[in-house]
Structure 1
Amino acid sequence: MSAKKLYKVTFLNHGKVYELYARHVAGSALWGFTEVGELVFDLGESVVIDPTEERLRDEFAATRMLHLPMQSIVRIEEVERKGQLTIRDAATGERVVTPFPLPSRPKS
């Protein structure tokens, strides 16, 4: 059985460190870039919804291929299984938590 390779890609984006999982990582035809494709997200089969994964899925929903500048890539790892997706603050390393939207109060 030939399983497709799975990569954990860690990169900087707007002052935050993103961790995504992808099936395709290669040198890009664009000089100085690395292409990352076939992004892997959970399909929402779980009862518990991860707001970070939901945010990343929304942000990259229409993305077929990311072309990341080489200097923004922190690490690319070949892994056996997918872990939790994260967004961290680049300066502190703390997770950026996306709060659940609160219902608005009706105007009186």
Structure 2
Amino acid sequence: MSSRPLYKITFLNHGKVYELYARRVGSSHLWGFNEIADLVFDLHDGLVVDPTEERLREEFGDTKVLHLPMQSIVRIEEVEKKGQSAIRDATTGEKVVTPFPMPAKPR
């Protein structure tokens, strides 16, 4: 196991369940919030392998510290290695997949 702990944070956001990985989790100085910092994303230099991971990196890549309301957090787990980050539908639990943009048909 790494000397630095790794956490999997599962939380609700706009009707979807987000699963992110971070190195730091704690109480926020903002009352009723948890502080999530040092977010961990897979690094791919070339071809995008996982569009969900890319979407999360675009949304949270420049985030220094994420302050989440306590009531939005479903679970915080300390894990040994990073799994796949995900965005799931809150009611069905199915992964929300952003379809690959298809070129328009010529007329």
**Which residue does the alignment assign to 2:27?**
27
Q: Compared with structure 1, are the counterparts of its residues 71 and 64 closer, same or farther at alpha carbon in structure 2 (3 Å cutoff)?
A: same
The number of residues matched between the two structures is: 107
Identity %: 71
TM-score by length of 2: 0.92
**Which residue does the alignment assign to 2:91?**
91
Which blocks of at least 5 consecutive residues in structure 2 are unaligned?
none
The 4+ residue runs of structure 1 with deviation greater than 4 A are 45-48
Cα shift readout 1:62-92 (whole Å, capped 9, x = no counterpart): 2111000000000000000000111110011
Query: What CA distance in whole angstroms lies between the structure 1 residues aligned with 2:102 and 2:85?
Result: 23
Whether 2:10 is the aligned partner of 1:10: answer yes
Q: Deviation at 1:55?
A: 0.5
Equivalent residue letter for 1:50: D
Equivalent residue letter for 1:31: W
**Which residue does the alignment assign to 2:104?**
104
Query: What CA distance in whole angstroms lies between the structure 1 residues aligned with 2:33 and 2:48?
Result: 36
Q: Which moved more, 1:12-21 or 1:45-54?
A: 45-54
Query: What CA distance in whole angstroms lies between the structure 2 residues aligned with 1:71 and 1:62?
Result: 24
Whether 2:40 is the aligned partner of 1:66: answer no
Answer whether contact 2:19 2:85 (CA < 8 A) is retained.
yes
Cα shift readout 1:3-60 (whole Å, capped 9, x = no counterpart): 1100000000000000000001000000000000100001115756101000000011
Q: CA RMSD in A?
A: 1.9
Q: Deviation at 1:105?
A: 4.3
Q: Deviation at 1:103?
A: 2.2
